[in-house]
Structure 1
């Protein structure tokens, strides 16, 4: 127990959580109150039931006065039981809300650090292209070739909701189909989930409570637009005990995704670099704990394979404690190089969430000894489209147009814009 507590404190310290010892002690103290109250409640209910059985016997024996005294005791115990049940419910709710606001404990391999500047580059692949002298960033190219229209999107909806037109729309569709086909070939099972979720689903995968206000919330119906297909797909298995022979579960799904991106500003969010609505193909795995890091490596290799087939230079980063997502135990980001912007753009995050989501979801399996255990959940972008499109447009531009990656041409029906 002490060893587990030290591990949690060390992990939360990596995330930059202030005074994690106090936070964990608060959890333990509240849990002890819950346990003590539960024991008292069980004992009170047991006493009440035993006395209730005595009343009938005493009445049959003609001992009415004694029976009345027992009735009074039973009534007092029932009142105490009601009070204890209310206290128990309060402690359980307080503990649940406290735990909801504690992020996942990072894997031991996660480096310390405060921001994305402290992430570790662990692999680089591909040659950064040299562009011609008049090369342009993608936000100029899309206007020149009239393939993505931000002004029209702003008119119809608002900033961050572009229209894709003509060959721009066909390039989007080509990428989606390519990513889905590659996932199917890798053994993933395709689902097309809803793009709106209820509150229980947001809580189940850790998006709620939404501390940063990044989710779009339809308050009248209390539903949320999804930030990623991970949420509805993983929630397919909420409150489930999966048969061991059905593991691993491998799902892939395409959805539009919605993020408010509150507080985003500056040159880094120009054009396709950051949107409120964007398309993404997501891969999900549900695994036995002993297999989950093998699955994590497999998912990372799958994403890297997509980038190599698109002939995009990329690098892999291991995220530090200060930059890793709230629910993740370990995350690798894949970034492609944008030659016109002369910067790296994140296009995928692959995460092992371990039991953080399955604990909330009550997602379990029975091992060989028939003991019920929590499963591990994993998710990854394979891939998010906007920055992939930006990199394709910028890196493949020539003085005579934009060359489409060869692997996409059977999907686009054209080889140049």
Structure 2
């Protein structure tokens, strides 16, 4: 009774908030036009007759989850040729990246807003055979509708931090039934699996992390290394930074190199996590009195004036391999503020050594393993990070080279999750 009441109140709250949700999407669409496309799908409304049943439905909410899904989709297709896929997303960057994963016969849509009616309409229209949610995407109304429809649901590459577990306990009447509606969770780590079980997931297995199976784009990696060779000075990367970290990094950079001329400083390269913040971060750089060059302003080769800039802004999408190839050393975004850290595995696969802040709970095991392997180091704050960076980019260059080699070995040692997960998901599919 308590769970039914909680789900009912949740559904009504989302219905009442729907106009605000749509207004938010419209505003985001001013910078990212894809948000203004296919609006009916956000409400579970689709054109044309219902789809032919039997697709494998995979939901990858944003860019990171979509990229992580790529090796899983490849493994699924290798095991089941002719597999028809429905790929859903919640963000414009995710949907844009997902287009490259589609083959003839596949479909792509927005995952609808999590109201009871929208989720029922979604499942009635698409009639998938199995649903796969990436990483953390458990939605109460969607899970309830899937259970009523008899749809097996898998949480792939699943993770759950201690913080998220505590938050879920405060909403146990709503979230515990949603977790309990999963057929299987394929956890990244043993600790993730244990926490998922505490959250109410009835069955889980440790399968590893799909991000280890992602391979760098070799062409972009080579281009980045060529740019680095042409620059003739070290490059320090702020990798996938979050709000608040850029200004702190710029100030720490100014303090560390205040007595040095521009030619004696490394090039500071900043790649923000969210595209809508590119202009904001450019403004922060200029407000600090630093000369700026933006990646979006040139094509295959940086112009001479860019080479003289103190800061480069990586304001492009799907070029992280280029940026890691360009960098001698990276500072892990999201780890210098209490945000849990960004994906450090991609940097390791590109052979880029890392300095991590104190907050890496989103990738706790990977951070610990990278540190043990010598691919990454933990620092207390950005001032310590800049101090270590100065040493590693200077006289301690041999240590940095050893870290780069250790990074590639660390990434290669943990591959194989995609094949394991594909086998378990296909067991739930009709023959």
**How does the TM-score come out when normalised to structure 1?**
0.25
Flag the structure with higher strand content: 1
Flag the structure with higher helix content: 2
Higher relative contact order (CA 8 A, sep 6+): 1
